[in-house]
Amino acid sequence: MVCGDATTAKTSEAVARSVEGIIEARPGTSFADAVELARPRIAEGTSIWLLAHDTAPHPQALAHLAGALERSPSATIAAPKLVQADNEGEIVSLGVTMTSLGRSVELAAGELDQGQHDGRDDVLGADIRGILIRGEVRDQLRPDRALAGADEGLDLGVRSRLGGGRVVLTPTARISVHPDGPAALPQNVGQRAFATRLAQLHRRLAYAPAPTVPLHWLSFLPLALWRTVFHLIGKRPAAVVPEWAATVTAMARFSAVARSRSRIRSFRTATWSSIAPLRITRGELRRNLDDGHGSEGGAASELNFFSGGGAWAVLAAVLVSVASFTSLLAWPALGGGALLPLRETVTALWQDAAWGARGIGLDVVGPADPFAGVIAVLGSLWPGAPSFAVVLLWLLALPLAVLGGWFAATRITDRAGLRIFGGIVWGLAPTFLTALVDGRPAAVLLHLVLPWLFHAAAVAHRSWGAAGAASLILAVALACAPSLAPAIGLLWLIAMVIVLARGWFRGAVRLLWPIIPALVVFAPLAIRHLRQGDIWAIFADPGVAWVGPQVAADSAGRMLLATGFPTPDLAEWTTLFGPGIAAFIPLLIVPMALLALAAAVAPRWGAGVMLLVVALAGLFTAFAAVGVSISFVQGTPVAIWPGSGLSLAWAGVVGASLVTLDTALTLPRLRLAAVLVAGLALVICAVPALTALHTGRSVLSNGPESTLPAFVEADAHGDQQIATLVLTPQNDGGLAAGVVWGASATLGAQSTLLNTATAAQGDDISSLAVDLLSPRTFDAPQELAAHGIQYVLLDQVVGAESDAARAFRISAVTALDQRAGFVRVGETDKGVLWRLEAERAASNEPSRAQQATAQLIVAIQLFVLLIALLLAIPTRASRRAARAMSRIVGRSPEEPITVRRRDVDDAVAGDEDNATPEPVDEPTVEDQLPVEDEPNRAHPEEQR
């Protein structure tokens, strides 16, 4: 048989001498088809020996096979021992069986041939290559063409068994095979997954008792879904598409199934139970299972979190945190700054995170801020009282920052001391402490997740697990600070260019994934903002727009930003010591800056330069952010918080400093001195901020548990859909009118749709609000109740109130007092409250179209996030793969090799792989290590 052009074969005399005839077939002909084509040419009654061009029988192989058939009359098929063509000591196949569920299992594949399996005689099936089929049954035992290249030998064995024949192993008959022949499984991972899965499903339909076939058929789609989940957890996203393709193909081939079944029926004489003894049992399967232990090749780079002192640093941070925020231990909720309570129930938290009616404003239906999802996750951690989760976040912020910093440092250094230094310096970042003291939850969360983003994204090209983790963390980070999107996008592009320039195409594919969840969660919001014509609004800080302290958009402000401080009070120094002393405080950052700059000349300069680029990207983001005023609170513009950009910049600075300390400062004393100077300077710098709460300089306050008066809170308890109209006379004589749903204004309910609005959103309440305060006589309670409003609260501006605002407020109180149907509940510290004597209309049910949109968007977002989550779940195999290579990214051959015993292996491995220096954020050549195949070993079904 020649598949393709047979001209050469026809003219060859050597071929002509040895063959009876030449059959020319189409190039794509499968092995089973070829056998079928050649069968009529073979004389009746002769046995058939199946060979392909890649099979090289050893001398006497045919004699041994024929002898086996002669020796045992019950044998219908004799199977040889297949060995690697280039390494004849390694077995490719010696007998195949299947599990009770029909999965094919190789009995000896991949093992070194030491004769350990030579005693085996009776098997269920064998690889189709090289088998000798007895002439009497060869018409019945034809390879099934529907199997498409996999499990054909196993199928023949099963059918022969059912017909009363046996498959005998003939280990003495050896045949060398190449892995890429026409009868072997495809080399391509996807094709192989398709072929094996299709063969398995087809055999299941062919072997099953007739009544159960429809049930099997029905079970295929759910099974495919189930297996997709496991493919993702097993970090094999490439197997997902073949899985579905195989499932759909197997389900569609009714005639092939019928043909296979009739062929079995016509030959079957024995019962199905006759093959049961030859199936592999669970016990044997477990014995055969290779869990991959030891595959690290001795290059295990352990984390040493406990032995390296990382745990002690975190513990110390817990103590510092408790000492600094002692009063928080007794607080049930946190207030002040940009902090608000959370919803009272977890359900409401998640409703806020989904597309639908927003928790503020009248009839504002649209996408949620992704940050609402982060808040929902945070609140769900303490389901009984979600607001307390924020208190816990504040208490654990310092230790979590140190922990994150420590883990991020493992990507740069193996030295235990430097890792601890990295963790502590990350936790003492001035921008982080400012965010803690000023009560900025989004900025605090961002600073906590950024090191993990660094930790995962730096190796996203290496493994799917890291890419999955990076994708989730990136979505969270951007949800907390959308203003970082341009900088992150730029860094991602640089990473892509580096990966592609080095030809790591698999790494590039993995690097594509991390941005996808972030794009998907932001897409609805971005589309809405685009429709409203202002894409800038997508960069607005989520949560409450708060007119808090932050530097101005001028040179002086940018100077402060360049020194790492996002506020003019320099992390509380100005308030504590006055501007005279505070002017020198930026000098405390200088040691870090110098260390970071030195990374450009350090031996690992590639990583150093990349980290400096990260620092610059963050810094320039902060520079730009202070000049972008797109959020408003009661008509007052609020610029983007520049501290988020500074967090990114700090990541670059800390990373670059660690590169310098790890590779450039080789004298231990010099390194120690540098660490002490830089660390102590930052500790001193942090003192005013860490003592701010005790000395009353922080805006953090105990609660309130609701921003509305207790009467409303009690009435709307359990997040009932009761709306309160909040009117605030402004200092310029204007009036801010807002609607709050539920028992309190909450963090998750805030929406940038309203915070960034340049035109009224939803139902415009403005005219109604003004008419309430005007002398006009109308049925005000009824009109308000029709919108679902039950309460009217007249609030006072925060800070000094102007005469105009005060006069307006007093006249408003008078006007509302005089309205019929307005029952004054009382004057509280949160304003004057009236209750409406009117039947409140049920809150607007979303329309059918809105419900459909909401379901679609939520489904898509959950689907993508689920994929990311499944990819991110660590498995034993993925952890082993991570251990198998250096944790450090971007090693350069120029850097000095550390002499510590444990590091030697790492360094050698790294030097071999890293022929060229490379940036830290980006891929390394470690792709060549066996990491890709690693996860497969835990799942033998994917192996041949």
Partner 1 sequence: MTQKSAIRIVATGARLLTGAVVAAVCVLGVTAAVALPWPTVQRAPAQVSVTPTPGDTILVCNGAFRALGQDITNVTQMSSAGMFDLTVDGASATAQITSLDAPDLIGAAGAPSVLTGIAEDMVSAPIAASESISLADEDFGGLAAAPCRQPSTESWLIGGEVETGTSDIIIISNPGSVNASVSLTVYGLESTSSTMVVPPRTQLAVPLAAHAAGLQQPVVRVTAEGSPVRAVLQSALTRTLDPAGIDIQDTAGAPALDLVFAGVQVVADGTDTPTTVLRMLATDAGTEATVTVRAAGSGDVAQQFAVPLDAAIPVEVNLDDLDLGVYSVEVNAASPIVGAVWQSTGDAGGSDFAWMTPAPQIADDVLFAVPSGPSPRVHLVNDGAEDITVTLTRIDVASSRDVVVAAGGSAAVAVPPGASYRLSTTGPVNAGVILTGANALAGWPIWPGADALEPITVYP
240 near partner 1, judged by CB under 8 A: no
> Measured from the CB atom, is 297 or 733 closer to partner 1?
733
Say if CB 207 and CB 274 are below 8 A apart: no
Q: Rounded to whole angstroms, how far apart are CA atoms 561 and 572?
A: 15
Name the one range near partner 1 by CB under 8 A: 137-145, 237-245, 392-400, 611-619.
611-619
Name the one range near partner 1 by CB under 8 A: 163-171, 211-219, 459-467, 813-821.
813-821
First-to-last alpha carbon distance for the chain, in angstroms, is 26
530 near partner 1, judged by CB under 8 A: no
Which of the 8 DSSP states describes residue 831? E
483 near partner 1, judged by CB under 8 A: no
771 near partner 1, judged by CB under 8 A: yes
Query: Residue from 756, 861, 878, 924 that binds partner 1 (CB under 8 A)?
Result: 756
Q: Name every residue whose Cβ is closer than 8 Å to that of residue 716 and which is 6 or more positions away in sequence.
A: 708, 722, 742, 743
Name the one range near partner 1 by CB under 8 A: 98-106, 122-130, 255-263, 761-769.
761-769
Query: Residue from 225, 581, 601, 862 that binds partner 1 (CB under 8 A)?
Result: 601
Residue 517: how many other CB atoms lie within 10 Å: 26
Say if CB 2 and CB 22 are below 8 A apart: yes
Q: Rounded to whole angstroms, how far apart are CA atoms 889 and 905?
A: 15
Q: Find the shortest distance in angstroms from Cβ 444 to partner 1.
A: 25
Name the one range near partner 1 by CB under 8 A: 83-91, 161-169, 595-603, 790-798.
595-603
Say if CB 749 and CB 345 are below 8 A apart: no
Residues 343-362 that bind partner 1 (CB under 8 A): 361
> Measured from the CB atom, is 307 or 758 closer to partner 1?
758
Say if CB 714 and CB 782 are below 8 A apart: no
Residues 726-745 that bind partner 1 (CB under 8 A): 730, 732-738
Query: Residue from 50, 481, 609, 651 that binds partner 1 (CB under 8 A)?
Result: 609
804 near partner 1, judged by CB under 8 A: yes
Name the one range near partner 1 by CB under 8 A: 161-169, 482-490, 597-605, 877-885.
597-605
798 near partner 1, judged by CB under 8 A: no
Residue 543 token pair? 């949560």
Query: Residue from 60, 777, 851, 928 that binds partner 1 (CB under 8 A)?
Result: 777
Query: Residue from 61, 278, 585, 773 that binds partner 1 (CB under 8 A)?
Result: 773
Q: Find the shortest distance in angstroms from Cβ 482 to partner 1.
A: 14
> Measured from the CB atom, is 426 or 539 closer to partner 1?
539
807 near partner 1, judged by CB under 8 A: yes
389 near partner 1, judged by CB under 8 A: no
Helix (H), strand (E) at residue 435: helix 430-438
Residues 615-674 that bind partner 1 (CB under 8 A): 615-616, 619-620, 623-624, 627-630, 632, 634-637
> Measured from the CB atom, is 365 or 374 closer to partner 1?
365
112 near partner 1, judged by CB under 8 A: no
**Residue 232: how many CA atoms within 13 Å on its side-chain side?**
21
752 near partner 1, judged by CB under 8 A: no
598 near partner 1, judged by CB under 8 A: yes
Max intra-chain CA distance, the chain = 116
Q: Find the shortest distance in angstroms from Cβ 626 to partner 1.
A: 8
837 near partner 1, judged by CB under 8 A: no
> Measured from the CB atom, is 284 or 771 closer to partner 1?
771
> Measured from the CB atom, is 102 or 762 closer to partner 1?
762
Q: Find the shortest distance in angstroms from Cβ 504 to partner 1.
A: 24
Site string for partner 1, 701-730 (x = CB under 8 A): -----------------------------x
Q: Find the shortest distance in angstroms from Cβ 570 to partner 1.
A: 16
260 near partner 1, judged by CB under 8 A: no
> Measured from the CB atom, is 732 or 837 closer to partner 1?
732
String of DSSP letters for 708-739: S-HHHHHHTTTT---EEEEEEE-TTS-EEEEE
Q: Rounded to whole angstroms, how far apart are CA atoms 831 and 266?
A: 89
Q: Which of 520, 461, 460, 464 is nearest to 232 (CA)?
A: 464
Q: Find the shortest distance in angstroms from Cβ 749 to partner 1.
A: 16
813 near partner 1, judged by CB under 8 A: yes
| Total of chain residues touching partner 1, rule CB under 8 A | 70
> Measured from the CB atom, is 819 or 937 closer to partner 1?
819
Whether residue 704 has a cis bond before it, omega within 30° of 0 = yes
Q: Rounded to whole angstroms, how far apart are CA atoms 579 and 50?
A: 90
Q: Rounded to whole angstroms, how far apart are CA atoms 599 and 673?
A: 17
The residue assigned the tokens 């295990």 is 300
> Measured from the CB atom, is 317 or 609 closer to partner 1?
609
Q: How far is CA 15 from the centre of its chain?
A: 57
Q: Find the shortest distance in angstroms from Cβ 895 to partner 1.
A: 11
Alpha-carbon distances of 763 from 358, 508, 786, rounded to whole Å: 12, 47, 12
Indicate left, alpha or beta for 87 from its phi (over 0: left) and psi (-120 to 50: alpha): beta
> Measured from the CB atom, is 537 or 689 closer to partner 1?
537
Taken as a whole, the chain contains a residue count of: 944
400 near partner 1, judged by CB under 8 A: no
Q: Find the shortest distance in angstroms from Cβ 836 to partner 1.
A: 17
**549 phi and psi, to 5 degrees?**
-70, 130
Q: Which of 351, 348, 346 is nearest to 365 (CA)?
A: 351
Q: Which of 413, 515, 513 is nearest to 462 (CA)?
A: 513
Residue 823 token pair? 């029952």
759 near partner 1, judged by CB under 8 A: yes
Residues 890-929 that bind partner 1 (CB under 8 A): 894
> Measured from the CB atom, is 61 or 832 closer to partner 1?
832
Q: Rounded to whole angstroms, how far apart are CA atoms 867 and 423?
A: 30
By DSSP bridging, strand 334-335 and strand 701-702 are antiparallel
Q: Find the shortest distance in angstroms from Cβ 316 to partner 1.
A: 33
Residue 70 token pair? 């002669």
542 near partner 1, judged by CB under 8 A: no
Residue type, 448: L
Say if CB 476 and CB 644 are below 8 A apart: no
Q: 640-668 burial by CB neighbour count: b if 16+ within 10 A, else e?
A: bbbbbbbbbbbbbbbbbbbbbbbbbbeee
Q: Find the shortest distance in angstroms from Cβ 639 to partner 1.
A: 9
Residues 416-445 that bind partner 1 (CB under 8 A): none
Q: Which segments of 310-420 are extended strands (E)? A: 334-335, 356-357, 365-366
Q: Rounded to whole angstroms, how far apart are CA atoms 222 and 376?
A: 30
Q: Which of 494, 487, 477 is nearest to 619 (CA)?
A: 487
Residue 566 token pair? 């996002």
> Measured from the CB atom, is 364 or 882 closer to partner 1?
364
Say if CB 419 and CB 409 are below 8 A apart: yes
Q: Rounded to whole angstroms, how far apart are CA atoms 784 and 368?
A: 25
Query: Residue from 218, 319, 559, 841 that binds partner 1 (CB under 8 A)?
Result: 559
Q: Find the shortest distance in angstroms from Cβ 564 to partner 1.
A: 12
555 near partner 1, judged by CB under 8 A: yes
**Residue 316: how many CA atoms within 13 Å on its side-chain side?**
12
> Measured from the CB atom, is 276 or 497 closer to partner 1?
497
Give the binding site for partner 1 (CB under 8 A): 361, 534, 536-537, 553, 555, 558-559, 562, 597-598, 600-603, 605, 608-609, 612, 615-616, 619-620, 623-624, 627-630, 632, 634-637, 730, 732-738, 756-761, 764-767, 769-771, 773-777, 803-804, 807, 810-811, 813-814, 817-818, 894
